[in-house]
Amino acid sequence: MKLIAFDKSKNVKYFGECQLQIDRLEKCLNLKLLDKDTEETMTAKYDRNYVCKNNLFCCMDKDSKKTFVLVFPTKGKCEQLINTVLRVTSLEPQTSDDVASNEEKMFKVDFYVPLIKAVRSGIDGHQKLKALILSFINSLEIDERLCYLNILANITLVPAAADPSTSTPKTNLSSSGIARSRKRFVKNVKQEEDETPLKNLKLSFPAETSSMNPSLSLFDQQPSPQNSSDEIAGFYFK
């Protein structure tokens, strides 16, 4: 499985394969980094903050604020691990709206946004990370997919039009910029709504797309080799 580990500044310090060991006695996860020149193991106690989002298992240290993401092949595998952590720590899953909202916000701010910025910075392996992000977005239901796509667009497209020497782009997950982007994206979706059920829509762009064109639909019924994840990501990650 893949491991993405961040430092305190939310910069990626490791992106590669890892081997997971669950230590029920010590109540921790041991992660052996397989792509390091010398053997190294990360340890995460069960008392950290954990969020499971589809196939992404996210962990944050409460004190240092360091984070990491385990990328599982399926959502089911990810849920098995989070359930193991909950059982060992004798915790019951909390399903209140407030808890769910806080977890969603934590995932967006502390994991999703740093992943996008890591791709933008051109880290080693950013092409694989790019494909991972788009695969995650396409795994979501349509409403949530639009939300995460708007965050992606707000980070990658809006700052591109600004002068970096005179301004510092800010990411606001509830900003009017996202609201405007959503209206534009929803408008484009509605143009195809009569022909394509929303639940079947997937992110795709024409292969020749190289710049922002508001007239282009951001969705297509059937992704194809001409509309691959790499080409979609290339639209955003300049």
Q: Options 3.40.50.300, 3.30.1510.10, 3.40.50.150, 2.30.29.30; which CATH number does 2-99 get?
A: 2.30.29.30
Q: Retrieve residue 109's tokens.
A: 């701010």
Tens digit of pLDDT per residue, the chain (238 long)?
Answer: 999 999 999 999 999 999 999 998 888 999 999 998 888 999 999 888 899 999 999 999 988 889 999 999 999 999 999 888 877 665 545 555 666 778 899 999 999 999 999 998 888 888 999 999 999 999 999 999 999 999 998 888 754 444 443 344 444 454 444 445 444 444 444 444 444 444 444 544 334 333 334 333 333 333 444 444 445 545 555 5
How much is the pLDDT for 228? 46
How much is the pLDDT for 235? 55
Taking the C-alpha atoms of residue 123 and residue 119, their distance in angstroms, rounded to an integer, is 6
pLDDT in tens, 119-157: 988 888 889 999 999 999 999 999 999 999 999 988 887
b/e 174-196 (16+ beta carbons within 10 angstroms → b):
eeebbeebbeebeeebeeeeeeb
Query: Which H or E run contains 28?
Result: strand 28-33
- The domain ranges of the chain are 2-99, 126-236
Residue count of the chain, please give it: 238
Taking the C-alpha atoms of residue 217 and residue 149, their distance in angstroms, rounded to an integer, is 13
How much is the pLDDT for 96? 55
Q: Which residue in the block uniquely carries the two structure tokens 């995932």?
A: 107
Query: Which H or E run contains 87?
Result: helix 75-88
Q: Retrieve residue 180's tokens.
A: 């405007």
How much is the pLDDT for 98? 63
CA 161 to mean position of chain CA atoms: 23
- Which is nearest to 52 in space by CA: 20, 19, 85, 21? 85
How much is the pLDDT for 204? 43
Q: What is the pTM of this model?
A: 0.66
- Which is nearest to 65 in space by CA: 85, 49, 82? 49
How much is the pLDDT for 122? 87
